[in-house]
Amino acid sequence: MEPLTLPTTMTSLSQLMLQSHRHSPVSVDPSGNASWAQFTHDVTLLCQTLAHYDAKQWAICCEDSYFFAVAFMALAHSKHQLILPGNHQPAALAELSHYFDGLLHDNNIQCPADCISLKLNDIDWQASVNNATPFTPLTLEAIELTLFTSGSSGTPKAIHKNLALLNNEIAQLESLWGEKLAQATISSTVSHQHIYGLLFRILWPLCCDRSFSRFDLIYPEQVMAQASNDHVLISSPALLKRLDNEQKTTQYRAIFSSGGPLPLAAAHQCQHLFEQLPFEVFGSTETGGMAYRQQQQASTPWQRFPAIDIALNAEQCLKILSPFIDQTQWYQTSDHCELIDNDRFILKGRTDRIIKIEEKRISLTDVEQRLCSLPWIDEAAVLPLEQDNRLILGAVITLTNEGHQQIALMGKGKFWLLLRQQLRQWIEPVGIPRSYRLVESIPLNTQGKRLVSDLEQLFKADNA
Residue 1, pLDDT above cutoff 50: no
Residue 18, pLDDT above cutoff 70: yes
Question: Same structural domain for residues 152 and 231?
Answer: no
Question: Same structural domain for residues 211 and 221?
Answer: no
Least confidently predicted of 61-75, 223-237, 435-449: 435-449
Domain that holds residue 443: 358-460
Please state the domain count of the chain. Answer: 3
At 118-148, the pLDDT tens digits run 999 999 999 988 878 899 999 999 999 999 9
Distance CA 143, CA 186 (A): 26
Contact between 56 and 101 under an 8 Å Cβ cutoff? The reply is: yes
- Residue 154: the pLDDT is 59
Question: Same structural domain for residues 157 and 81?
Answer: yes
Contact between 39 and 70 under an 8 Å Cβ cutoff? The reply is: yes
- Residue 386: the pLDDT is 86
Distance CA 130, CA 147 (A): 34
Question: Same structural domain for residues 210 and 222?
Answer: no
- Residue 453: the pLDDT is 83
- Mean pLDDT throughout 339-353? 90
Least confidently predicted of 223-227, 253-257, 348-352, 377-381: 348-352
Question: Same structural domain for residues 344 and 224?
Answer: yes
CATH number of the domain within which 53 lies: 3.40.50.980
Long-range contacts of 93-101 (CB under 8 A, 24+ apart): 93/59, 93/61, 95/155, 96/59, 96/148, 96/156, 96/158, 99/57, 99/59, 99/146, 99/158, 100/55, 100/57, 100/58, 100/59, 101/54, 101/55, 101/56, 101/57, 101/58
Residue 306, pLDDT above cutoff 90: yes
Distance CA 192, CA 173 (A): 17
CATH number of the domain within which 301 lies: 3.40.50.12780
Using 50, 70 and 90 to split pLDDT, how confident is the model at 446?
low
- Mean pLDDT throughout 70-95? 93
CATH number of the domain within which 422 lies: 3.30.300.30
Average pLDDT, the chain: 92
Question: Same structural domain for residues 295 and 396?
Answer: no
At 396-427, the pLDDT tens digits run 999 999 999 999 999 999 999 999 999 998 88
Q: What is the DSSP letter of 40?
A: H
- Residue 359: the pLDDT is 67
Using 50, 70 and 90 to split pLDDT, how confident is the model at 463?
very low
Beta partners for residue 385, in sequence order:
392
- Mean pLDDT throughout 31-49? 96
- Comparing CA positions, the residue from 373, 378, 369, 375 lying closest to residue 336 is 369
- Residue where one domain finishes, among candidates 351, 375, 407: 351
Distance CA 113, CA 94 (A): 8
- Tell me how many degrees the CA angle 244-250-256 measures, rounded to the nearest 5: 65
Question: Same structural domain for residues 128 and 22?
Answer: yes
- Mean pLDDT throughout 20-32? 94
- Comparing CA positions, the residue from 307, 311, 319, 366 lying closest to residue 339 is 311
Contact between 264 and 191 under an 8 Å Cβ cutoff? The reply is: no
Q: What percent of the chain has pLDDT over 70?
A: 97
- Residue 464: the pLDDT is 47
Contact between 209 and 158 under an 8 Å Cβ cutoff? The reply is: no
Question: Same structural domain for residues 161 and 25?
Answer: yes
Residue 208, pLDDT above cutoff 60: yes
pTM for the whole thing? 0.84
- Residue 385: the pLDDT is 92
Using 50, 70 and 90 to split pLDDT, how confident is the model at 454?
confident
Helix, strand, coil percent values for the chain (each to nearest 5): 30, 25, 40
- Residue where one domain finishes, among candidates 195, 216, 237: 216
Question: Same structural domain for residues 33 and 74?
Answer: yes
Distance CA 368, CA 386 (A): 19
At 371-398, the pLDDT tens digits run 999 999 999 999 999 887 788 999 999 9
At 214-232, the pLDDT tens digits run 999 999 999 999 999 999 9
Distance CA 393, CA 396 (A): 10
Going by their DSSP bridges, the two strands 57-61 and 102-105 should be labelled as: parallel
Contact between 165 and 12 under an 8 Å Cβ cutoff? The reply is: no
Distance CA 100, CA 111 (A): 11
Residue 2, pLDDT above cutoff 60: no
Residue 150, pLDDT above cutoff 70: no
- Residue 135: the pLDDT is 96
Question: Same structural domain for residues 345 and 376?
Answer: no
Contact between 81 and 142 under an 8 Å Cβ cutoff? The reply is: no
- Comparing CA positions, the residue from 35, 309, 289 lying closest to residue 165 is 289
Question: Same structural domain for residues 367 and 269?
Answer: no
- Residue where one domain finishes, among candidates 183, 216, 249: 216
Question: Same structural domain for residues 313 and 365?
Answer: no
